[in-house]
Amino acid sequence: MQKEHILQTPLGLADVAALKLGDMVYLSGAIVTTAGLPTHQRLVEFIERGQKPPIEMEHAAFLHLGNYTREQNGKFEILYTNPTTSVRFNPYMPAIIRAYKLRAVGGKGGLDAQSVQAMKETGCVYLSFLGAGCPLLSSAIRDVIAVEWSDLVTHYRLAHLTVDRLGPAVVAIDAHGNSLYQNIAAEMEKRMAAPKKNL
């Protein structure tokens, strides 16, 4: 039976291990977000150089959410946030998941088998957010802790936010290597291979 979970970050291994495919999740606490391909490339470069990023990533909830920020009097304000497609980041996510032992990643569209394997190794889940959930997701933002890498356009920057009941999000890949996306693909292949009945 699918369950609803209201979870507080940082997430522990027990928190993510208890999540099943199809469960509904709301996150409260600190999260890290970006929608940028250059951001992921830079994170991998930091990992390869043994350099720490400007935002603490260890055991983080790292979400593919694009933010539009406005800076006034030295303080950042998030005007809106919305999920972006995670599959764009497939080449980089396994290294990022393993290096920072991420507990949750998310966005929309899922991640590939290499990322799923990395998630299984570290104890990490993928959360699928509503593609048109901007009003709900934006209303969950409570504070902007930091926005880094200002040389990038606003929604590519690395943002450290505090949220209250960010969601709803569906557990689409669990910490045990099970993936709704892979299940759907396997079912489609099975149906395509089945003999066609005469009409």
The total domain count for the chain is 1
Question: Residue 23 falls within a domain, yes or no?
Answer: yes
| Residue 186: pLDDT over 80 | no
pTM of the predicted structure, to 2 decimals: 0.90
Question: Residue 128 falls within a domain, yes or no?
Answer: yes
Contact 196, 182 (CB under 8 A): no
- Assign 79 a pLDDT band (cuts: 50, 70, 90): confident
Average pLDDT, the chain: 90
Beta bridge partners of 127: 106, 171
Question: Residue 112 falls within a domain, yes or no?
Answer: yes
Q: Which domain holds residue 165?
A: 4-193
- The CATH number of whichever domain residue 58 belongs to comes to 3.20.130.10
Question: Residue 139 falls within a domain, yes or no?
Answer: yes
Question: Residue 199 falls within a domain, yes or no?
Answer: no
Question: Residue 198 falls within a domain, yes or no?
Answer: no
Question: Residue 155 falls within a domain, yes or no?
Answer: yes
Question: Residue 14 falls within a domain, yes or no?
Answer: yes
